[in-house]
Structure 1
Amino acid sequence: MDAIKLLKTDHKLVKELLTQLEETSERATKKRATLLHEIQVNLKAHTTIEEEIFYPAFKAAGRKDEAKMYFEALEEHRAAEDLVLPDLLNTDPGSVEFSGRAKVLKELIEHHADEEEKEMFKDAKELLSKEELAELGAQMEARKAEVIASFA
Structure 2
Amino acid sequence: MDALAILIADHNRVRGLFARFNTANDADAVDEMSTLAEQIIEELTVHTSIEETHFYPWVVSISDETKETVSEGIEEHHVVKTLITEIQSLQPDQPEWAAKMTVLIENVEHHAEEEEEELFPKVRSATDADAREALGETLEGAKKELGAPVLADKIDLTLTELKELASDQQIPGRSDMDHDELAATVAPPTA
Q: TM-score, normalised by structure 2?
A: 0.73
Percent of residue pairs identical: 31
**Residue of structure 1 equivalent to 2:5:** 5
**Residue of structure 1 equivalent to 2:187:** none
Partners of 1:98 and 1:51 lie apart in 2 by: 26
Unaligned runs of 5+ in 2: 149-191
Partners of 1:98 and 1:23 lie apart in 2 by: 16
Greater RCO structure (CA 8 Å; 6+ sep) = 1
Across the two proteins, how many residue pairs are aligned to each other? 147
Q: Deviations over 1:39-60 (max 9, x none)?
A: 1111111111111111111100
**Residue of structure 2 equivalent to 1:27:** 28
1:18/1:102 contact within 8 Å kept: no
Q: Deviations over 1:37-80 (max 9, x none)?
A: 111111111111111111111100011x3111111100000101
**Residue of structure 1 equivalent to 2:55:** 54
**Residue of structure 1 equivalent to 2:186:** none
Structure 1 residue 30: Cα displacement: 1.8
Structure 1 residue 126: Cα displacement: 1.0
Deviates more, 1:14-23 or 1:100-109: 14-23
Q: Is 1:100 the equivalent of 2:99?
A: yes
1:18/1:106 contact within 8 Å kept: yes
> Going by fraction, where is helix more abundant, 1 or 2?
1
Equivalent position SS for 1:33:
helix
**Residue of structure 1 equivalent to 2:78:** 78
**Residue of structure 2 equivalent to 1:148:** 147
Structure 1 residue 33: Cα displacement: 1.9
